[in-house]
């Protein structure tokens, strides 16, 4: 770390270059190399035309994206930080969207109107060296404040009804958790252990009152089940926590919509598509959520099928990442209007550079959707994911690794493709309009967004 005003030496790297160990290390590294033309052609041959089918595109799209920013409270105290997360959900009426095109062009003013139908959840996070209320540590502050925000009126579909809060959605999902930590009761959940004493599991109810650990009497919170507190730092940036929480929220918010609609107007779900940014997967301490998502989606689809409705459409769209990198290498060899379901063999061979396959198949502990690569008739290429068609990866009699890549198991695939074709955007590479709008609505720019948040933090804390 430099001192203020200090400039770095211009020759400091020479020692590294001269070090023979470094040279030897570089020579022994294995890494992903661009495929040859022959390999590319072989890979491209795996792509097939998508099944043509009569589809009924949904009436609405909800696209969710998130963004975060960490502000220091003062230039003199750069290690004292507050984090901000913004989760945006953009609602697009596709009929309205279809009418935007006038001739070859899209009416920009009306696109701007679309963005007015957006909602946002803003979360603040006590980061390094910040304590909230009477909480003794950053970690305790983080736990209490996250829980309060999940429960707050702004996260509710009906501000007067706490059972419509984001926290209640978490209860509904946690109740579906397989194994001993599931309760089967949407008003009760279990956290695997008390963050204070480490004993567990601890069962909590969806009630407004503060609840306490039965073992040690410490305060416990329903949102502790997300386990983001495990990565909290007292004196350093909590960027990791923020990233984890943002990822969780990006997936949780669509399920929040789904849960409430499922309860009040379930068939409306067959009229909707949900776009989230990134693969359909939850990483880190809250990865267990992916199983609850799978179970919940299965319940929704069963109900929709009972009424003769299409299954719910949820699409994870990846703008960046390993598959996107891989695709850019082979793109020119793939014909237009071609599709590929990324199977484990392909992934480990071409994308993950020969990494050892994981138990139960790729993403066994994290993914709830299948990645697909699609090149549109206009030549744009998309990496997207659809939810797995099973409530679990251990379905009896199902070879999940084989079955998950069969197109026939994804009745919503033709609709997804039609929707991507309809919504592909010139604005960003690899993006569809809803995600682009959600991103634009959510992204906190360094300037002026980040600067303004810095000012807010400083003014509020200094006041």
Partner 1 sequence: MTDFQQHLQIITRRVLSLERLWELARFQPNDAQREAIIHVDGPLYLTAGPGSGKTRVLLWRALNLIVFHEVLPGEVFLSTFTEKAAHQLQEGLQSLLGLVTNLTGRPYDLTPMYIGTVHSLCRRMLSDRRRFSVDRQRHRPPTLLDELDQYFHLARNRTWTEVRQCAGLEGDANGIINGIFGVRSESRHVAVTNCLALFNRFSEECLDSDHALYRLDNDASSLRNYLQTWNLDREGLSLLVRLYAAYRESLRTGNGVEQTDFALSQQEAYRIVETCTGSDQVFRHVIVDEYQDTNTIQERLFFKLAAGTGNLCVVGDDDQALYRFRGATVENFVEFPARCHTYLGRAPRRLSLEINYRSQERIVDFYTAFMQQANWAKSDGQDGFYRVMDKDLVAHRQSPLPAVVASTPAEPTDVCAEIATLVRRLLDEGKVGDPNQIAFLFPSLKYRGAMLDSVRRVKEALEAVGLRVYAPRAGRFLEVDEAYDLIGLFVHIFGYPPRADLRGHDYQAYMEWLQSAEAQGEALMHSDPLLDGYVKERRAELVRVAQDYRALLRTAESHHWDLRAPYDPDRMKRPLYNAHGYSDEGKRLLASTYLDRVVRERTAKGQPFTLGYILKRVTSIDWNVLDLFYRLCGFEHFKRMFDLAERAEDEGPVTNLGLISQYLARFMEQRVPIITADLLVDKLFQKLFFGSYLFALYRRGETEMEDADDPFPKGRIPFLTIHQAKGLEFPVVVLANPRKDDRGPQRVELLMRPFLEREPGEPLERLAEFDMMRMFYVALSRAKNLLVIAHYKGKGQRINAPFITLLDAGFPRIPTFNLNALPAAQEKDEALPKIYSFTADYLTYKKCPRQYMIFRGFGFVPARSQTMFFGSLVHRTLEDLHHELIRRRESHE
- The site for partner 1 (CB under 8 A) is made up of 59-60, 62, 89, 91, 93, 95, 117-120, 153-159, 164, 256-257, 260-261, 264-268, 271-272, 307-309
What sign for the dihedral angle of Cα 350, 354, 359, 365?
negative
Q: Which of 84, 96, 87, 86 is nearest to 63 (CA)?
A: 87
Beta pairing class for 369-375 and 338-341 = antiparallel
- Burial of 254 from C-beta contacts in 10 A (0-12 / 13-18 / 19+): buried
Q: Which of 60, 99, 67, 101 is nearest to 84 (CA)?
A: 67
Q: What is the rounded CA–CA span in Å between residue 264 and residue 242?
A: 32
In the complex, what is the shortest distance from the CB of residue 265 to partner 1, in angstroms, rounded to a whole number?
Answer: 4
Task: Pick the closer one to partner 1 by CB: 90 or 327.
Answer: 90
Task: Pick the closer one to partner 1 by CB: 300 or 342.
Answer: 300
**Distances from the Cα of 388 to the Cα of 18, 180, 273, 400, 406, angstroms:** 52, 23, 16, 10, 10
In the complex, what is the shortest distance from the CB of residue 96 to partner 1, in angstroms, rounded to a whole number?
Answer: 9
Task: Pick the closer one to partner 1 by CB: 155 or 442.
Answer: 155
In the complex, what is the shortest distance from the CB of residue 71 to partner 1, in angstroms, rounded to a whole number?
Answer: 24
201 preceded by a cis bond (ω within 30 of 0): yes
In the complex, what is the shortest distance from the CB of residue 272 to partner 1, in angstroms, rounded to a whole number?
Answer: 7
Q: What is the rounded CA–CA span in Å between residue 113 and residue 298?
A: 34
Task: Pick the closer one to partner 1 by CB: 27 or 116.
Answer: 116
In the complex, what is the shortest distance from the CB of residue 103 to partner 1, in angstroms, rounded to a whole number?
Answer: 26
Alpha helices in 193-319 (DSSP H): 239-264, 289-306
Task: Pick the closer one to partner 1 by CB: 260 or 288.
Answer: 260
In the complex, what is the shortest distance from the CB of residue 270 to partner 1, in angstroms, rounded to a whole number?
Answer: 9
**CB count, 10 Å around CB of 16?**
10
Task: Pick the closer one to partner 1 by CB: 89 or 373.
Answer: 89
- In this structure, what token pair is assigned to residue 191? 């956290």
Q: What is the rounded CA–CA span in Å between residue 185 and residue 189?
A: 8
- In this structure, what token pair is assigned to residue 255? 């399920």
In the complex, what is the shortest distance from the CB of residue 189 to partner 1, in angstroms, rounded to a whole number?
Answer: 21
Q: What is the rounded CA–CA span in Å between residue 358 and residue 371?
A: 17
In the complex, what is the shortest distance from the CB of residue 87 to partner 1, in angstroms, rounded to a whole number?
Answer: 11
Task: Pick the closer one to partner 1 by CB: 269 or 294.
Answer: 269
Task: Pick the closer one to partner 1 by CB: 155 or 421.
Answer: 155
Q: Which of 324, 256, 275, 298 is nearest to 388 (CA)?
A: 298
């Amino acid at each position: 770390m430099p001192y203020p005003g200090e400039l770095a030496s211009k020759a400091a790297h020479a020692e590294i270059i001269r070090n023979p160990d470094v040279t030897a290390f570089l020579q022994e590294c294995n890494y992903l190399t661009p495929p040859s033309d022959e390999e590319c052609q072989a890979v491209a041959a795996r792509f097939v035309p998508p099944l043509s089918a009569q589809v009924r595109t949904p009436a609405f799209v909800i696209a969710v994206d998130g963004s975060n920013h960490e502000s220091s409270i003062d230039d003199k105290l750069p290690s004292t930080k507050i984090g901000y997360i913004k989760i945006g959900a953009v609602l697009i009426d596709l009929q309205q969207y279809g009418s935007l095109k006038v001739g070859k062009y899209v009416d920009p003013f009306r696109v701007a109107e679309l963005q007015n139908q957006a909602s946002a959840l803003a979360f603040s996070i006590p980061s390094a060296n910040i304590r909230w209320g009477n909480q003794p540590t950053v970690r305790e502050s983080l736990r209490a404040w996250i829980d309060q925000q999940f429960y707050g009126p702004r996260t509710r579909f009906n501000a007067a009804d706490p059972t419509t809060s984001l926290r209640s959605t978490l209860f509904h999902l946690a109740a579906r958790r397989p194994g001993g930590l599931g309760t089967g009761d949407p008003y009760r959940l279990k956290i695997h252990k008390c963050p204070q004493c480490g004993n567990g599991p601890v069962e909590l109810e969806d009630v407004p009152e503060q609840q306490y650990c039965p073992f040690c009497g410490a305060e416990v919170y329903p949102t502790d089940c997300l386990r983001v507190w495990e990565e909290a730092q007292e004196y350093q940036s909590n960027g990791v926590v923020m990233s984890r929480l943002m990822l969780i929220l990006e997936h949780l918010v669509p399920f929040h919509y789904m849960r409430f609609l499922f309860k009040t107007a379930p068939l409306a779900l067959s009229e909707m598509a949900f776009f989230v940014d990134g693969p359909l997967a939850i990483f880190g301490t809250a990865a267990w959520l992916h199983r609850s998502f799978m179970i919940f989606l299965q319940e929704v689809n069963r109900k929709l099928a009972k009424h003769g409705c299409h299954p719910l459409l949820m699409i994870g769209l990846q703008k960046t990442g390993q598959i996107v990198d891989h695709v850019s290498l082979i793109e020119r060899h793939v014909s237009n209007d071609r599709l590929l379901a990324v199977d484990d063999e392909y992934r480990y061979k071409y994308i993950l550079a020969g990494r050892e396959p994981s138990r139960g198949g790729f993403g066994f502990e994290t993914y709830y959707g299948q990645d697909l690569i699609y090149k549109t008739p206009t030549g744009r290429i998309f990496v997207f994911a659809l939810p797995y068609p099973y409530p679990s990866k251990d379905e009896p009699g199902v070879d999940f690794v084989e079955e998950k890549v069969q197109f026939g198991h994804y009745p919503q695939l033709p609709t997804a493709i039609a929707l991507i074709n309809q919504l592909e955007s010139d604005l960003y590479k690899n993006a569809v309009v809803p995600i682009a709008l959600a991103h634009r609505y959510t992204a906190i720019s360094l300037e002026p967004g980040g600067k303004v948040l810095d000012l807010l933090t400083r003014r509020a804390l200094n006041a």
